[in-house]
Structure 1
Amino acid sequence: MKKYFPVLLLLLLGCQLLKAQSIQSKTQGLTKYSGYFNFYWDEKAGKIYLEIDKLNQEFLYVNSLPAGVGSNDLGLDRGQIGDSRIVKFIKIGPKVMLIQPNYSYRAISNNADERKSVEEAFAQSAIWGTAAVADDGDKVLVDLTPFLLRDNHRIADRLSGNDQGSFSADESRSAVYLPNTKSFPENTEFEAMITLAGKASGAEISSVTPDANSVTVRMHQSFIKLPDDKYKPRKFDTRSGYFGIEYMDFATPIGDPIVKRMLSRHRLEKKDPSAAVSEPVKPIIYYVDRGAPEPVRSALIEGAGWWNQAFEAAGYKNAFIVKLLPEDADPMDIRYNIIQWIHRSTRGWSYGASINDPRTGEIIKGQVSLGSLRDRQDYLIAEGLLQPYEDGKPVSDKMLQLALARLRQLSAHEVGHTLGLQHNFTASVNDRASVMDYPPPVVSLNADGTIDVSKAYKTEIGGYDKRAILYGYQDFAKGTNEDEALKGIISETIKQGYLYISDEDARPAGGAHPQAHLWDSGNNAADELNRLMVLRKQVLYNFSVKAIRQDAPMATLEEVLVPMYLIHRYQTEAASKMLGGLYYSFALKNDGQTITKMVPPAEQWKAFDALMGTLKPDALALPEKLIAMIPPRPTGYPRTRETFKSRTGVTFDPMAAAESAAGTTLSFMLNPERAARLIEYQSRDNTQPGLLPVLNKLVAQTWKAPQPTGYNGELQRLVNNLTLKQILQLAANTNAAESVRSMALLQIDDLKKWMQSALPTATDSRKANLLFGLSQISQFEKTPDKFQPVKALAMPDGSPIGADEDGIY
């Protein structure tokens, strides 16, 4: 028994020492960082110890990506904000856990039991757990390092989902990144260099990493103090154009809506709410990235600053300010709304994101990410329009001015998102009434055939934007009935002719609203398409070696040609929405808006004619002198996603360019959803065009029309084939309405009989076209549900490249 006494004594003493260990003794000799949460840095072990003195107190937890992957396709950009969650640390025995309460379901009630019943009805989430390494009773110390070295941004999942390979965080190649790990009075920031190791299998990740099997980025995590309870949430209105939050409130009286919706917006108050014009209690200030070069930097500041015009219209003075980020400021500090300039391997989307309080919708921080290659695309477009490179003459600055004008608009657009605003894709039909639309450069023809770009982009905030800011940020005098005042603002906005339609309606290829589209202009899509086709014809006629710099390879003419040849691509899609189109609004009961209205038949047929104008051989043909100037690609200048595809090997293929343009037009015209609406609308109103008359007219102007000879003849036969394939695809589409498939079958049967009757008298080229068409029909007839015609070549990328998943770009 005696021989065990020393061992037992040592064990007891060890337990007493462990039990008695305090935070002070555990952190002795470590570097302390004081702030919202205090933490300690152990240089020797490479560890972060977090002092938790706010047990059971909620705060905001945000993850972000300060140093990204650099690929637009993967959507993992520098500055990307991830999830924002309300969390709290709780302690159970020796264990400390980070818990996320469920704020989607609440009981806004003074009754504690009522609140508790809802809390217990829905699951919470334990995000992380660990054992305390020191305990002072009212506060504990934990080793936060494993939490920081996780793949908290879920990059491995994103890479796997994009078929880039299988990856996981490798702790041996990951470490705390101390320069961006710090604590401020109202937020504590942690950053780590994380290496995702694995087996790469995708081209995108290989193109932006030195070693695709080892992807090293930086991931950031923020602990942020929640705002006080003085912010007043504002009622969400679907017509207002704002983002919002929603939750179910189970304390709601049974006769009222249980789902509550609130705007996302910054806190802004007038010093004197009763004054027509007042200084704010605290202005909204945005800071521009010091890494943005001049003259880009000034353009970003100027464009973002347009929003002050809207706040002035809402009765504020100096409420919105844009500055250059001070040298000693840290962009991770929650006090700074940031406009950052980010670099990628190719041009891509820009983003306007924000950190919100999930309880109220209050925007705590706005963060704009602007892709640095976007201005170069506008410069390229200007080169094609202006043909500026003349031997022995100075190069005009018009290209630069056009690119900067677009950057101003882009800066304003993305900042608008961080103010709470969604896109408004009907603004273009109302004199470009909002920077929250996607604007194409509006250019025109001068009398001498040259191109005028002086009014390419707007130079101020739009009328709709002023109305939107008024709804979201007006500060009402004491005693005002806010609900009635807000209704009055919306009513006046409608009265002034502003309509709001956003992403879900504008983006789908089968969209129905004839005024809701991306990158369109003009108040009538068909008229604008016709105008644009006239301008395009002149641009192609003017196109020459003056489109490229001295000593540039001649093959690079193609890069400048692409956006000129396809300058009508978005207006074509806009015009297609007039076919089987429906005017509508997000109307509320008795608000006076047009709820739904079919597009008048004459307008639909006008759109049909405009669309057919893009399919004519004269429209698809390139000048012979231009084709002859584009040789095969030289060494070092391979084909890219931004050049035309080719079916002729190494040579430039003008037929492939025509195929991509014509195939796109036809896919819009014969979209299955559009076809279904054409049938439905005609059944309800026999003056509507209907699908069969559209198909009949389409075939009459392609297959059954007189066939030209030469180059134009080949283009016509190309369009013929594409037309047939599109009708066959409509008939074979098992997801299409059966009425649509039956109409397509009827058209195919009629066309087959006509082709057979036309064969005996056809010329060789015509006969070959007819025989190919008949062979396609024969293949379809064998297995209709499985028939898949060869798809038309896709257009080169047009919109900014990459992920477009959240609608805030």
Structure 2
Amino acid sequence: MKSIVYIITVLLCFSVTCVNASNSSWGKKKKKKAGTEKVESSDSTSKAVSTSEYEKFMKDAVVKKGMFNVIKKKDKIYLEIPKAIMSRDFLISSRVSSTSRTWQIDPGTINRDPLLITFSCDENKVYIHFPHLDYVCKESSEMYEAYKRHSNPPIWKAFKIEVMSKDSSSCVIDATPLFLSSIAEFSPFPDLPAEVRMMIPFGGSFQSDRSKIEEFKAFEDNIIVKSMMTYTTDKEGPLTTIEARNIIILPEIPMVPRYADERIGFFEESRKLFDEHHDRLQQYGIINRWDLQPKDMDKYLAGELVEPVKPIVWYVDPAIPEKWRKYVKLGIADWNIAFEAIGFKNAIVVKDYPTDDPNFDPDDIHYNCYRFVASTRENSMGPSWIDPRSGEILCGDVISWYGVVTLLNKWRMIQTGAVDPSVRCPVMTDENMGEAMRYVAAHEIGHTLGLMHNFGASAAYPVEKLRDPEFTQKYGTTPSIMDYARFNYVAQPGDLEKGVKLTPPLIGEYDKFAIKYGYQVLPNVKSADDEKEILRGWVREQIGNKMCFYGKQVFQFNFDPRSMAEDLGDDVVKANTYGLKNLKYVAANFVDWMAVNDEGYAAVESTYKEIIGQFVRFMDHAMVSVGGMYINPKYYGDPEPLYQYVPKAKQIAALKFVLKNLNELQDWIINDKITAIIGPTAKHYVAQTQFFNEMLTRETLGRLQINEVDGKNVFTLDEYLGIIFDEMFTKKTGNLQLADMAFQNSFVENLTGYMDKGEFKSAGSNSLREWLNETTCSCHAYCESHHSFDAVDALGEIVLSPRIDKSNKRPIVMKYLRKTYNTAKSRMNTGNDKTREHYRLLVLKLNYLFD
């Protein structure tokens, strides 16, 4: 970006001390010096209004010069905004610098998207506008005048002009309300769904009497104002934060955008184009990416490695302990593997926070910082902040909570403890933990490069290849570290000694291709249209290459068993059978590994819960195949069908796998070693019953009906309920166990919920989230809040199983309620007393239908 320096001329009678504004241009981390001056005015009898008013206003003011001059008078902040740049585009953001309570707000976070703004003024006021971006029209279009009539930028804020500069070239406004008040668009509180806010007290009321301006800076392309902000909350008492609000000027000429493609996963900005050459509104996306350009284009195009004009520089928080920090740096730099494959040398540079640069500020949106938060939250996240006009990434952030160390400890031990003796301990070795931290760092940096999760990646590998030393050493557990592939739970005892790798790759094959799509520079490109066909050709060449398959992260109604979180391999039943074998070994022995000191003793309960969570995850993976379909984003000419149903045999095998293992869970999940430390527990029982309830929800049954309506040789709802009935009733003779009675009772309560009347209502969908939430990193939450996808994207409303009316299920449901009634009635006098009373209760619940 071109440097812009504005110098305000003052009268000779002013006593001025001034330090030059920043010499750095956008994205370069040269030293920036904030210009500061204190202005003192002598008495004046001048009648010149433009002089005397400005002079009086500036008396005793502290001024920092830059893009806007920032003026502090007493407890107020004023901005002197040059008229010449008011029509330029700016970005304004608010970052939490520090906080008095980390569980509710985390330091370093920007909890609302930065806003694109412009300024305008008249003789009385300065206005802040929001430019339109969602709907666009080319200036060359004959429709452009019509488009302009409904696309005036609305006014967001207005400020009275306090005074004009001497030559009337700039306006001074009281901007205190912009930096020291509660503004919804700048809220420090996470923007959580309403149902979450109802349960957790996120939010508070701003208290102006306990808030103040702390610090302000001005540079040639941005300003920063930091304020101490205090809020009161209903239950938690006062909360005080330091919030840094940035305003930056954007490039006068935006970066040339690059079109998105549904077959490869980038965060994107959506556009809707009015164009007379088409008969309907055109919709497209532009991807989020850094503006990487080679220093020497000729050498770059000739195939030589060339450094970029502006490398992506990352600064690593010194608060990360050195034993982990060195691995974090390696994880960040690992992406250079992908950039070197497309001709860039040192595209990513990793540094510590500088100690010799007084202008370095992690709160400045110019700096990409990998931050560490002292919190037990078991997560990391990697958002990026963009120029919404072009998709250019301006800043990346990674927030890593201390609790992620705890999470990695549990993952590594639970998923590979049966295979790797070195992880059987309450505290991981520096090498094991460092390797895991490196993976987390690389994953989060991938997000800051614009990459979304690729949950379809790990399904590329045949399960047996995950036990192949040569294959795993070369490819790891997944072709993309943007998947949630985790560690190699397929490997069996003895495989490690043969050379099988237990961890993900540094950078996967898909990751390299995605970086090529987003960052390879093509010659003579003046607009996104110039390279569109070349990019589509690259993607089309990879169709059929499983290593480069992209599977969207689906937040509702996941139908595609290839695109799941935390799975491995192309056969879920086979992979999870291996995984369960290992998990049973871990469950039988983890107390001996953990309870060797106070730390390990205290961690037994949380580890036990995570073992149950891993079991639930294995079951959940299998159930996605039941009623599932393979979904392929499709462009004209692509050879693959839009969707294919999961073969019937695979669906049946998945269901039987789940029922078998639900029935057997109590045989191995709990033992005397565990209860001796955590006491009596029913956690496994709760997980069993909740999962069984999930198997009978309208969403699950609706999936099967969609198959039945549209498919051939499909797994029907009748067959599904028949297999469940046989496992839970026909094969359960004699005295019943507690879990057996729970399953049968759940079967009745859920199915009666599909009938219009009846005293007993459906048990409904009891959430399994409590068993899975510890392994959902907050980059998941970021992706969900900023770029939500579900199966509707590819297939439309047909895949929304709740839209199948429950009356369509009733004939089949009635059939199995009748079978249940007859079975229970015939067994009312068999078994022990508890079993007999159980069957009598089922009969009582169903009498209203059949008696």
Q: TM-score, normalised by structure 1?
A: 0.82
Contact 1:617–1:716 at 8 Å: present in 2 too?
A: no
* Cα offset, 1:267, TM superposition: 0.3
* Cα offset, 1:572, TM superposition: 1.7
Partner SS for 1:190: strand
Unaligned runs of 5+ in 2: 1-43, 462-477, 756-761, 765-801
Contact 1:274–1:478 at 8 Å: present in 2 too?
A: no
Q: Measured at CA, do residues 399 and 746 of structure 1 come closer, stay the same or move farther in structure 2, by a change above 3 Å? A: farther
Moved more, 539-548 or 732-741: 732-741
Q: Measured at CA, do residues 87 and 449 of structure 1 come closer, stay the same or move farther in structure 2, by a change above 3 Å? A: closer
Q: Tell me the percent identity.
A: 23
Corresponding residue for 1:86?
116
1:192 counterpart = 2:227: yes
Partner SS for 1:26: helix
Moved more, 419-428 or 398-407: 398-407
Contact 2:93–2:245 at 8 Å: present in 1 too?
A: yes
| Structure 1: distance between partners of 2:712 and 2:152 | 54
Contact 1:160–1:167 at 8 Å: present in 2 too?
A: no
Partner SS for 2:636: coil
1:486 counterpart = 2:535: yes
| Structure 2: distance between partners of 1:357 and 1:47 | 30
1:131 counterpart = 2:160: yes
Contact 2:696–2:747 at 8 Å: present in 1 too?
A: no
Letter in 1 for 2:551: I
Corresponding residue for 1:755?
824
Contact 1:66–1:80 at 8 Å: present in 2 too?
A: no
* Cα offset, 1:141, TM superposition: 1.0
Contact 1:512–1:580 at 8 Å: present in 2 too?
A: yes
Moved more, 512-521 or 161-170: 161-170
1:102-158: CA deviations, max 9, x gaps?
A: 2223332157x9655433313533222221221122101112112211123235796
Match of 2:303 among 276, 289, 305: 276
* Cα offset, 1:611, TM superposition: 0.8
Corresponding residue for 1:802?
none
Partner SS for 1:295: helix
Partner SS for 1:544: helix
Contact 1:70–1:343 at 8 Å: present in 2 too?
A: no
* Cα offset, 1:230, TM superposition: 6.1
| Structure 1: distance between partners of 2:77 and 2:394 | 26
Match of 1:607 among 619, 632, 654: 654
Moved more, 245-254 or 154-163: 154-163
* Cα offset, 1:768, TM superposition: 2.4
* Cα offset, 1:14, TM superposition: 11
Contact 2:584–2:668 at 8 Å: present in 1 too?
A: no
* Cα offset, 1:19, TM superposition: 6.2
Partner SS for 1:485: helix
| Structure 1: distance between partners of 2:256 and 2:193 | 42
Match of 1:294 among 315, 322, 327: 322
Contact 1:620–1:658 at 8 Å: present in 2 too?
A: no
Contact 1:263–1:361 at 8 Å: present in 2 too?
A: yes
Q: Measured at CA, do residues 771 and 400 of structure 1 come closer, stay the same or move farther in structure 2, by a change above 3 Å? A: farther
1:212-269: CA deviations, max 9, x gaps?
A: 2x22122222111112426221112111211111223335533575334211111012
Corresponding residue for 1:177?
214
Aligned residues: 722
| Structure 1: distance between partners of 2:850 and 2:316 | 61
Letter in 2 for 1:186: D
| Structure 1: distance between partners of 2:229 and 2:408 | 36
* Cα offset, 1:767, TM superposition: 0.9
Match of 1:715 among 739, 743, 746: 739
Letter in 2 for 1:443: Y
Match of 2:409 among 370, 379, 383: 379
Unaligned runs of 5+ in 1: 1-12, 207-211, 633-651, 783-809
Contact 1:96–1:132 at 8 Å: present in 2 too?
A: yes
1:561-619: CA deviations, max 9, x gaps?
A: 22123322222212111000101111112122332111111111111121112212355
Match of 1:48 among 68, 77, 80: 77
Q: How does 1:186-585 map to 2 (within 5 A)?
A: 186-197=221-232, 200-201=234-235, 206=236, 212=237, 214-229=238-253, 231-251=255-275, 253-255=277-279, 258-270=282-294, 271-272=296-297, 273-279=300-306, 280-327=308-355, 328=357, 329-344=360-375, 346-382=376-412, 398=428, 400-431=430-461, 432-443=478-489, 447=493, 455-478=501-524, 482-497=531-546, 498-503=548-553, 505=554, 507-508=555-556, 510-551=557-598, 556-585=603-632
| Structure 2: distance between partners of 1:555 and 1:384 | 17
Q: Measured at CA, do residues 335 and 453 of structure 1 come closer, stay the same or move farther in structure 2, by a change above 3 Å? A: farther
| Structure 2: distance between partners of 1:299 and 1:657 | 36
Match of 2:151 among 122, 135, 140: 122
1:27 counterpart = 2:63: no
Contact 1:266–1:363 at 8 Å: present in 2 too?
A: yes
Partner SS for 2:626: coil
Contact 1:159–1:167 at 8 Å: present in 2 too?
A: no
Contact 1:160–1:166 at 8 Å: present in 2 too?
A: no
1:663 counterpart = 2:731: no
| Structure 1: distance between partners of 2:579 and 2:417 | 18
Contact 2:645–2:711 at 8 Å: present in 1 too?
A: no
Letter in 1 for 2:219: F
Corresponding residue for 1:724?
748
Match of 2:840 among 751, 756, 771: 771
Q: CA RMSD in A?
A: 3.4
Contact 1:107–1:118 at 8 Å: present in 2 too?
A: yes
Q: Measured at CA, do residues 286 and 168 of structure 1 come closer, stay the same or move farther in structure 2, by a change above 3 Å? A: same
Contact 1:379–1:400 at 8 Å: present in 2 too?
A: no
Q: Measured at CA, do residues 607 and 750 of structure 1 come closer, stay the same or move farther in structure 2, by a change above 3 Å? A: same
Q: Measured at CA, do residues 378 and 80 of structure 1 come closer, stay the same or move farther in structure 2, by a change above 3 Å? A: same
Partner SS for 1:97: strand
Contact 2:612–2:684 at 8 Å: present in 1 too?
A: no
Contact 1:98–1:128 at 8 Å: present in 2 too?
A: yes
Letter in 1 for 2:508: G
| Structure 2: distance between partners of 1:407 and 1:484 | 39
1:145 counterpart = 2:176: yes
Letter in 2 for 1:50: L
| Structure 2: distance between partners of 1:668 and 1:365 | 41
Moved more, 168-177 or 766-775: 766-775
Contact 1:289–1:325 at 8 Å: present in 2 too?
A: yes
Letter in 1 for 2:89: E
| Structure 2: distance between partners of 1:160 and 1:307 | 33
| Structure 2: distance between partners of 1:744 and 1:322 | 61
Q: Measured at CA, do residues 82 and 283 of structure 1 come closer, stay the same or move farther in structure 2, by a change above 3 Å? A: same
| Structure 2: distance between partners of 1:228 and 1:668 | 54
* Cα offset, 1:726, TM superposition: 3.7
